[in-house]
Amino acid sequence: MDAMTPQTRRTLEFVLDNLVWFMLLAVLVVFSAFVPNYFQPGIFANIIEASSVLGVMSIGLALVVIAGHMDLSVESVAALSAMAVGILFCSAGIGIGVDLQPEWLAVPVSLFIALGVGAAVGLLNGFLIVRWKVNAFIVTLASYIWVRGLVLALSGGRSAQDLAPAIRWFGTQRLGIDLPGFTFTVPLTAWLAILCFVVFSFIMAKTPFGRHLMMIGGNETATFRAGIKVNKLLIISFVMAGAIAGLAGWLLSIRTSGATANLGTGLLFNAFAAVVIGGVSLKGGVGALPGVYAGVLLLSSINTAINLMGLPATSTQVIHGLLVLAAVLLDTFKQTLRQKLA
């Protein structure tokens, strides 16, 4: 043992465990200082608002990655759910404009459909992976492709517009502090994303289900030997990832007031970036959801800065790529440091 006191060690571990929050803070401070017009409530509200779809999608991805698996299909699943909602509840384009009475009924029904579509794909993924022992990467890559194909086939490449006003309401209502001279409000969709993070953070940290997923990600053999129903839990986690992706699709359709065939393209890689930056190890068994939310906010903060600085949007991709690389290197570095601590 070296001369490190338990106190410094605990501090160091705390910093390592919450590194992404410190990074977010640093990034916000730097941008606020150097990017003109960055430091204002409206910008921060915007960052949170822009994080909702990606944030929700990242939750589902994080669940299966923590359990030691992989779900590449979340982006396409979100698109399929959005398209289902779009076709059913849009009145223009390919939308058939289902008219429910009373009007508000469209909200729960569309949400239920979005979740259901996602859960169905998740169930198929989970079943193939667990029962047929097919590699999760391959199964969900296939889903990533065929589900997007289904979206294209359903839409015929066209789009649905003019989402039912009752559903749109979620995208337009804002909630927050609204005082004279100081306004900080974000739309209900963003609150929904935050609520999801709170609920799933709680599930992962405080319930046997979350604990078991974590342990499966750490050592699947050991959990099996201990009598934990590994297969059942893994299938549930894939169903959850699918359903959550469906929710992301629902939010996506609200944001765009409809659905297009290429809706959400590229979200998968941002979700992976957020999950990895958020401290979830792709090896499984490591990571927590609050960190993932910080990762999403970090990406969103950087996007906002790029916009404000008037840099070409293409530079966003380069920066995201570098950020993911940095996150993976950081993960390796953290592991080495932890081994030294041990």
Partner 1 sequence: MSQFAPLLELVDIRKNYGAIEALKGISFSIGKGEVVALLGDNGAGKSTLVKIISGGLEPTSGRMVFDGRDYEARSPSEAKAAGIETVYQDLSLCTNVDVVANFFMGRELTRKVLGIPVLDEKAMEDVVAKALSSAGTRIPSLRAKVETLSGGQRQAIELNRFVHWGGKLVLLDEPFAALGVDQTRRGLEMIRRVAAQGIGVVIITHIMQQAFQVADRIVVIRQGLVAGNIETRNTSPDEVIGMITGEQLAVAGAAG
- List contacts with partner 1 (CB under 8 A): 206-208, 211-212, 214-215, 217-219, 221-223, 225-228, 285-286, 338, 341-342
At residue 160, the 3 state secondary structure works out as: strand
> What is the closest distance, in whole angstroms, from the C-beta atom of residue 42 to partner 1 in the complex?
37
Question: Do β-strands 160-163 and 174-179 pair in parallel, antiparallel, or remain unpaired?
Answer: unpaired
> What is the closest distance, in whole angstroms, from the C-beta atom of residue 132 to partner 1 in the complex?
22
Beta carbon nearer to partner 1, 104 or 224: 224
Q: Taking each helix axis as running N to C, give the angle between helix 165-172 and helix 188-206, from 0 to 180 degrees, rounded to the nearest 10.
A: 80
Would you say how long the chain is, in residues?
Answer: 342
The span from the CA of 201 to the CA of 183, in Å, is 28
Beta carbon nearer to partner 1, 17 or 162: 17
The span from the CA of 335 to the CA of 32, in Å, is 32
Beta carbon nearer to partner 1, 104 or 333: 333
The span from the CA of 130 to the CA of 149, in Å, is 24
Beta carbon nearer to partner 1, 74 or 228: 228
> What is the closest distance, in whole angstroms, from the C-beta atom of residue 10 to partner 1 in the complex?
9
Q: Nearest to residue 72, comparing CAs of 60, 86, 82?
A: 60
Beta-carbon contacts of 275 under 8 Å, excluding residues fewer than 6 positions away, are: 58, 61, 62, 65, 287, 292, 295
Beta carbon nearer to partner 1, 9 or 131: 9
**Tokens representing residue 179 in the block:** 């005082």
Residue-wise burial string across 63-74, b where 16 or more C-beta atoms lie within 10 A, e elsewhere:
bbbbbbbbbbbb
> What is the closest distance, in whole angstroms, from the C-beta atom of residue 80 to partner 1 in the complex?
30
The upper half-sphere exposure of residue 209, i.e. CA atoms within 13 Å in the direction of its Cβ, equals: 14
Beta carbon nearer to partner 1, 101 or 221: 221
> What is the closest distance, in whole angstroms, from the C-beta atom of residue 218 to partner 1 in the complex?
4
Beta carbon nearer to partner 1, 105 or 195: 195
> What is the closest distance, in whole angstroms, from the C-beta atom of residue 108 to partner 1 in the complex?
22
Report the DSSP beta bridge partners of residue 218. Answer: none
Q: Nearest to residue 174, comparing CAs of 262, 48, 24, 74?
A: 48
> What is the closest distance, in whole angstroms, from the C-beta atom of residue 208 to partner 1 in the complex?
5
